[in-house]
Amino acid sequence: LTFPLLSVTLLVSFGSSMLYGYNLAVVNAPAASIKAFYNATWSRRHGHGLAPGPLTLLYSLTVSVFALGGLLGSVLVGVLVARYGRKGTLSRSALLVLLAGASMGFSRDLGSPEMVIFGRSIMGVHSGRCSLVPSRSGAVHGPSLVAHLRGLLGLVPSIFICLGVFLAQVLGLPELLGKDRYWPLFLSVVVVPASLQLLLLRCFPESPRYLLIERNDVHGATEALRRFLGTADVRGEIEEMREEQRALSSVETLSVWQLLRDRSVRWQTLSVAVVNAGMQLSGIDAIWFYTNTIFEDAGIPVLQIPYVTVGTGAVEIVAGLIGCITVEKLGRRPLVLVGFCAMGLCSAGITGCRLLQAALPGMRYVAVACVVGIIAGFCTGPAGIPFLLTAELFTQAHRPAAYIVGGSLNWLSNFTVGFVFPFLQMSAGAFCYLFFCGVCLLVAIYVYLVVPETKNKTFVEISQIFA
């Protein structure tokens, strides 16, 4: 990777995937403060406070509306890229972040819980188009680079998601923005990386593949490639993109309905649906959204919880790096299998620890280890490989519809966990984690029986294995 190409890859991941990770974890530390603000505002408007049930419902909506925005953003991403290009879409998404940050930052001063919910939904729309990130570097150089580094490029965004989660956990410490009076600022910190991305994007040209394939601008694509690759002779890359352009012009892109009815790829479609839904129903969102509550229920002293949470964030970065380094050596399938199995066993472990903690106080630390195991298992494989599999299981004709199916299930499952988990926790207690255990083990069994290894395989070879 040349320095300009590496720079744009890191810049896009910094302003996209990292913000996605930040918004997954940012509502964890200030949960009590946000609930107190909602209760006080309701009392001022109606003369009485909210009962625990409605208050939990309102806060659950605040947490999970992020996923509804993500669903909308993931559906619109193709239209936006076709109209504005990758660079234009990224710039407009950064402007959305500024709007969301301002809405959440001034919500307490204006006494408006609605502004928090609105800001969270807009941040979700921004994060929904994070599917652009893994394609950005490949869009610069062409198919040959994607074939050579597709595993690495596919997991780079997951590293930045982990970094975003870790940043939210660090800033949520009591010594930084974890105090009650700072929670609006804590939510609106997102404007800083968005502003930086908006500023630095002006230094980079548009994607060469977009310029050539979508706009047929040979001169613009040539100049962009020269800047990215640092060489004057880019005729080979231009010709490679022209071949891709000719191939795409002869292919009819399928709609989602056509994809679902196509029997030749029904197992590929089912596999994408299972892995993407299982990725969110595995319980990882419950861990990120409600870490402090989970640790408090496990018996960890309240004053220690923020620091234990930061420790889990450091572990997930290490696990993400391990997955990124080993994906091209070990393959996709082993990492997914190990990840889901580890998450399932650790979810069952949390249930056991919760049941035994009254008799054995040391179980609280085993529960922390189980949470760390869930995070490590997720970041090692299931965090990024489902998106990579979606690209590798389908041809260009099927791929856009497959991304819509996988992305929609991903965000709907994210919303379901974020909204339902507090009520599941209240009703089922320690046994709520057995649901996540069952999901993880079922997905692992499905992958073991159905999904082949896709590393270094063509679509034809993969189709033959499925057949």
Return the higher-pLDDT residue of 269 and 299: 269
In this predicted structure, the answer to whether residue 252 has a pLDDT above a threshold of 90 is no
CA pair distance 322, 184, nearest whole angstrom = 35
Q: What is the mean pLDDT of residues 427-442?
A: 91
Contacts for 238 with CB less than 8 Å, ≥ 6 apart: 212, 218, 221, 222, 225
Q: What is the mean pLDDT of residues 107-127?
A: 94
In this predicted structure, the answer to whether residue 357 has a pLDDT above a threshold of 90 is no
SS (H, E, C) 201-231: HHHCCCCHHHHHHHCCCHHHHHHHHHHHHCC
CA pair distance 220, 208, nearest whole angstrom = 7
Closest by alpha carbon to 244, among 138, 315, 161? 138
CA pair distance 205, 172, nearest whole angstrom = 36
Tell me which DSSP letter residue 106 carries: T
Confirm if 458 and 339 have CB atoms less than 8 A apart.
no
CA pair distance 264, 426, nearest whole angstrom = 44
Structural domains in the chain plus CATH codes: 1-204 (1.20.1250.20), 256-466 (1.20.1250.20)
Return the higher-pLDDT residue of 467 and 100: 100
Return the higher-pLDDT residue of 403 and 449: 449
Confirm if 227 and 106 have CB atoms less than 8 A apart.
no
Contacts for 244 with CB less than 8 Å, ≥ 6 apart: 142, 143, 209, 213
In this predicted structure, the answer to whether residue 192 has a pLDDT above a threshold of 50 is yes
Q: How does residue 111 score in pLDDT terms, banded at 50, 70 and 90?
A: very high
How is residue 321 written in tokens? 């790096």
Task: Report pLDDT for 251.
Answer: 67
Confirm if 343 and 284 have CB atoms less than 8 A apart.
yes
- The average confidence (pLDDT) of the chain is 84
The 10s digit of each residue's pLDDT in 7-23 is 666 666 677 788 888 99
* Distance, CA of 125 to chain centre: 12
Task: Report pLDDT for 140.
Answer: 43
Confirm if 209 and 241 have CB atoms less than 8 A apart.
yes
Q: How does residue 349 score in pLDDT terms, banded at 50, 70 and 90?
A: very high
Q: What percent of the chain has pLDDT over 90?
A: 32
How is residue 366 written in tokens? 């085993």
The 10s digit of each residue's pLDDT in 284-308 is 888 888 888 888 877 788 888 889 8
Exposure string of 79-92, with b = 16+ CB inside 10 Å and e = fewer, is ebbeeebbbebbbe
CA pair distance 117, 62, nearest whole angstrom = 5
Q: What is the mean pLDDT of residues 160-174?
A: 90
Return the higher-pLDDT residue of 68 and 399: 68
